[in-house]
Amino acid sequence: MKSLSEIETVSKRACRAAGYSWGVAEEVAKNIRLLEIFNLPGIKNLNSFFKKKKELRLENISLIYKDNEANKNGYCPIIAGLNCLDQIRTIDNLNEITFKKIAYPLLFLPFISRASEVIGKRIFLKMDDREFLLNFNNNIYSNHTKNEIIESAENIYLKVLENQDSFEEKEWNELYKLSEETFVEENESLKQGGAGAGLTDND
Amino acid sequence: MNISLRDPNIVMKLSRLGSFHQSKLSFLRSFLKEFKDWEYKRDLFELNEHGYGTAVYSFKKKNRVYSLICFANELNEDERSDRVIATKWDTAFTLFDGVPTKHDIERLQNEVPKQEFGRLSFKELTLSRANKSVRVFNHVVESLSKGVQPDRELLDKVGYLYRTTAVYGSGKFGLADRFRIKDRKEIYGPFRLEMMLVYLVRQFTFDQVNHVAKNKNPKKAVKLDPEICRNLGIGNSTGLGMAPFIVNHPTLLNNWISARETSLKKIREIKNISNEEVGLFLDCLKKSIKNITSWNTESEYQITKIKSLLTDLNKFIMHLDKEFNFKQDFAFNEMYLHLEKNYCEECIEYVVSMMMEPFDDIVTPLIQEMSSEEEKYFNIPTERTVADLKAILENKYSEILNIDFSKKENNLNFWFISKNKEEPRIANRFDEMGAELEQPLAIARDIKKLYDLLSVSKNSWTIAKFLSTNNELRHVVRRAFIVEKFPYSEIQDNTIGREIMPIDMLRLKLSFFGALKFDPRSDKWLRICMFQGAPLPEQLKNYDDYWVYN
């Protein structure tokens, strides 16, 4: 089995050899490591992408808007992902954005996972019929678990999810009430002797 | 009294970093201190009469066990080479996480001797190989088998029976990734497991030489005197492979230097130094001179450095003995100021190392802070502005921004990875091919390029906007934001100029390893000796932290 360190080093060098700058290669290397940690086929997709990159004639996006439509060949997943990561605060303000066609979208995914950690918000990402919930870069919840190469996605939808409770206030209150059963009722003696401070807190 | 930390513009110059020496912070010393009360055992020793076979050594505490597995193989004379291009070695080693089963040993027997061409697993932590100093090894075998101890002069001069040529860890060739073990308290200091491997290898070399001598002449053979063993270490040949490490791990570099600088600051802030502390400092300083006089080198550059170090140290010791008043307030601060004013960099840094010796309470807690969670600082804060980044460059790289990289001498060299060995190398970009495959180690030049680009960008732009069209300099944008938080994370020098001395980068790293005997063979590689003078595993219970000077 390859170690994550080997995966990162080889991905970085391969990315540089494929024509990206060293700084970009460092980002991609971290991403492939991340995909492999999450048991998603990072190496497989990166290798396939680099083999076909030249013939794909992909478009490089720089500034991200609400709706982004690439030429017929689609966006480069690395440059699109990198700019989403860098511009995640703008995207957060837009709340949701779309892309028309990204090549090798699995390589786009880890940038968004990292962006989720940067802004401290979950991000929902849909690539055609594949859905991903990116949880602060701690884990990825998805309906897609196949170990396969995905050459492109036509419709990409990204939504920043506001931080909110996943439960009703009533459910919280019920649980809180139960938790109170670990507390001790204070009688007068406990009130006087149990606290660290005096009885008056303004002396 | 509040003493400032030393200025990174002084400390992080290569000539200064290349003048660092071992200290209480050094990894091999902190390793021994950590493992002194672990249970040491030789678990397996199955060597034939010639010393070939398998051995296992372990350190154990509660449920944690680390086992060194050694494979000694026969090697023809013409196959023995210390060069990285070698494919066979006298011995090969791996440090195993836990107790290896018979099946593990069989698996590793096929892989470990192949080194870079073998495959290890997450159960193995470090990997290494070593070659005999044939002349010394054979002499020791001959002597012991005749019932006499070997020639101490020869052993003192060489310093080891075996020398390693590489020690690998952190996920190389399938070894365990650091994340699997990083939360273990006993390995909080950097390179702990690499140090453990080398230390146990040292013991194997003694056991093997005794075993071969005994088999040669069972009736007359004697064991190598433990005192002689103590004075032997493990040799190591080190080339450029180590140099880029300190550029590629900026926060780690910062934490090493920061521990040293914080120690110095705190020591200079002590008002009254006790007689005992003064005595310990002077004792270590005077005894340490013998380590320097044992350095041999053919490099003119190093000969000059060593010579001026010795001259300065003798002058400094005389000054301390005859003129210096340790009773004055803040005596170590006064002493440091005197040093800075009157002595060479090599001498200043030598004495700084010695100043730490009496102050365990200051130094020991800092050792825990010498590792780094590098991932935490990887993301670029793209919400910051061009104005912020420009200010960081002006503040943290002020001297570098003055270098004119259009001059050939400032842009003379390039760093690359050799295809043959996947090892870093340096070459003249105007004479050699391959500069288009340059590694991102020309930090000073790229910082200057970044500054020029920022200067024609709008100050109000966010870094996100700047990067959207300038990703070719992304690697140095990241570094600049790191150096903002970690002042000692960047070498404040040009690593591609005509004057570059790569050996300064090696010496910096090796000083933190705790190497005692530098033997620079050129400006690009050197031999060192590790653990020379260190207690043997069975002596660790009576561990003396000052073994370096005994």
Q: If you count them, how many residues does chain B have? A: 550
What DSSP element (H or E) covers B254? helix B250-268
Residue that finishes a domain, picked among B315, B339, B372: B372
Nearest CA in chain B to A5: B171
Closest chain B C-alpha to A119 CA, distance in angstroms: 11
Q: Decide: helix, strand or coil at residue A178.
A: helix
Domain annotation covers residue B501: no
Flag whether residue B422 sits within 8 Å of chain A, measured between CB atoms.
no
Domain annotation covers residue B519: no
Domain annotation covers residue A13: no
User: Do β-strands B424-428 and B64-72 pair in parallel, antiparallel, or remain unpaired?
Assistant: unpaired
* Cβ atoms of A71 and A90 closer than 8 Å: no
Domain annotation covers residue B529: no
pLDDT, mean of residues A22-47: 97
* Cβ atoms of A10 and B177 closer than 8 Å: no
pLDDT digits (tens, 9 = 90+) for B171-183: 999 999 988 998 8
| B254 in the same domain as B365 | yes
Flag whether residue B117 sits within 8 Å of chain A, measured between CB atoms.
no
The distance from CA A116 to its chain's CA centroid, rounded to whole angstroms, is 4
Give the nearest partner residue to B471 out of A4, A23, A87, using CB atoms.
Answer: A23
Closest chain A C-alpha to B112 CA, distance in angstroms: 16
| B414 in the same domain as B365 | no
Per cent of chain A over pLDDT 70 is 96
Instruction: Using the predicted structure, report yes or no on whether residue B295 has a pLDDT greater than 80.
Output: no
What is the b/e burial string over A109-124, where b = at least 16 CB atoms within 10 angstroms of the residue's CB?
Answer: bbbbbbbbbbbebbbb
* Cβ atoms of A23 and B478 closer than 8 Å: yes
Q: Do B171 and A30 touch (CB under 8 A)?
A: no
Flag whether residue B464 sits within 8 Å of chain A, measured between CB atoms.
yes
Domain annotation covers residue A182: no
Q: Which residues of A touch B470 (CB under 8 A)?
A: none
Q: How many domains does chain A have?
A: 1
Domain annotation covers residue A72: yes
Task: Give the contacts of A116 (CB within 8 A, at least 6 positions apart).
Answer: A122, A123, A134, A135, A136, A137
Q: Do B474 and A114 touch (CB under 8 A)?
A: no
Domain that holds residue A101: 57-160
Residue A201 DSSP class: S
Domain that holds residue B102: 38-131+166-222
Q: Do A23 and B477 touch (CB under 8 A)?
A: yes
Question: CA B37 to CA B27: how far, in whole Å?
Answer: 17
| B396 in the same domain as B479 | yes
Q: Decide: helix, strand or coil at residue B350.
A: helix
Give the pLDDT confidence score for residue A197 in this predicted structure. 55
Closest chain B C-alpha to A153 CA, distance in angstroms: 23
Q: Which residue has the higher pLDDT, A189 or B160?
A: B160
Give the nearest partner residue to B475 out of A13, A22, A83, using CB atoms.
Answer: A22
Flag whether residue B41 sits within 8 Å of chain A, measured between CB atoms.
no
Flag whether residue B249 sits within 8 Å of chain A, measured between CB atoms.
no
Give the nearest partner residue to B174 out of A2, A30, A63, using CB atoms.
Answer: A2
Instruction: Using the predicted structure, report yes or no on whether residue A170 has a pLDDT greater than 60.
Output: yes
| B355 in the same domain as B280 | yes
Domain annotation covers residue A79: yes
Task: Give the contacts of B241 (CB within 8 A, at least 6 positions apart).
Answer: B84, B166, B423, B424
Give the pLDDT confidence score for residue B83 in this predicted structure. 64
Q: Find residue B236's DSSP bridge partners.
A: B164, B528
Q: Which phi and psi angles does B44 have, rounded to 5°?
A: -150, 140
Domain annotation covers residue B492: no
User: Quick one: CA torsion of B104, B110, B113, B117, rounded to 10 degrees?
Assistant: -110
Residue B13 DSSP class: S
Give the nearest partner residue to B171 out of A3, A23, A114, using CB atoms.
Answer: A3
Domain annotation covers residue B190: yes
Give the nearest partner residue to A23 out of B171, B464, B473, using CB atoms.
Answer: B473
Which stretches within chain A are classed as H helix? Answer: 4-17, 22-37, 42-56, 77-86, 88-94, 109-119, 169-179, 188-194
Question: CA A49 to CA A58: how far, in whole Å?
Answer: 11
Give the pLDDT confidence score for residue B411 in this predicted structure. 96
Q: Which residues of A touch B422 (CB under 8 A)?
A: none
Q: Which residues of B touch A86 (CB under 8 A)?
A: 380, 382, 463-464, 467-468
| B378 in the same domain as B289 | no
Give the pLDDT confidence score for residue A31 in this predicted structure. 98
pLDDT digits (tens, 9 = 90+) for B28-38: 999 999 999 99
Give the pLDDT confidence score for residue B260 in this predicted structure. 98
Question: CA B61 to CA B492: how far, in whole Å?
Answer: 43
pLDDT, mean of residues A10-21: 97
Q: How many domains does chain B have?
A: 3
What DSSP element (H or E) covers B319? helix B300-322
Flag whether residue B248 sits within 8 Å of chain A, measured between CB atoms.
no
Closest CA to B25 of B349, B295, B333, B330: B349
pLDDT, mean of residues B492-515: 92
Domain annotation covers residue B32: no
Across the A:B interface, residue pairs with CB atoms under 8 Å apart total: 79
| B331 in the same domain as B291 | yes
Q: Which residues of B touch A79 (CB under 8 A)?
A: 471
Give the pLDDT confidence score for residue A199 in this predicted structure. 52
| B382 in the same domain as B368 | no
Please spell the DSSP secondary structure of B375-432, one letter per residue: GGG-S--TTSBHHHHHHHHHHHSTTGGG--TTSGGGS-EEEEE-TTT--EEEEETTTS
Give the pLDDT confidence score for residue B519 in this predicted structure. 76
* Cβ atoms of B58 and B41 closer than 8 Å: yes
Please spell the DSSP secondary structure of A78-128, one letter per residue: HHHHHHHHHTHHHHHHH-EEEEEEEESGGGTHHHHHHHHHHHT--EEEEET
pLDDT digits (tens, 9 = 90+) for B42-99: 999 999 999 999 999 999 999 999 999 999 999 887 777 766 667 789 999 999 999 9
Residue that finishes a domain, picked among B314, B347, B372: B372
* Cβ atoms of A95 and A160 closer than 8 Å: yes
Closest chain A C-alpha to B491 CA, distance in angstroms: 19
pLDDT digits (tens, 9 = 90+) for B442-475: 999 999 999 999 999 999 999 999 999 999 999 9
Residue that finishes a domain, picked among B308, B338, B372: B372
Q: Do A6 and B475 touch (CB under 8 A)?
A: no
When scoring A5, A7, A61, A62 by the number of chain B Cβ atoms within 10 A, the one with the most, hence best to mutate, is A5
Give the pLDDT confidence score for residue A198 in this predicted structure. 54
Domain annotation covers residue B531: no
Closest chain B C-alpha to A118 CA, distance in angstroms: 8
What DSSP element (H or E) covers B94? strand B91-97
Provide the sign of the torsion angle of the four alpha carbons B422, B423, B424, B428, taken in this order: negative
| B64 in the same domain as B16 | no
Closest CA to A45 of A101, A114, A3, A106: A106
Task: Give the contacts of B370 (CB within 8 A, at least 6 positions apart).
Answer: B25, B189, B190, B255, B256, B259
Mean pLDDT score of chain B: 93
Flag whether residue B476 sits within 8 Å of chain A, measured between CB atoms.
yes
pLDDT, mean of residues B374-398: 97
Question: CA B414 to CA B440: how far, in whole Å?
Answer: 9
Q: Decide: helix, strand or coil at residue B206.
A: helix
- Residue written as tokens 């500034």? A63
| B58 in the same domain as B110 | yes
Domain annotation covers residue B58: yes
The distance from CA B306 to its chain's CA centroid, rounded to whole angstroms, is 19
pLDDT digits (tens, 9 = 90+) for B523-534: 777 788 999 999
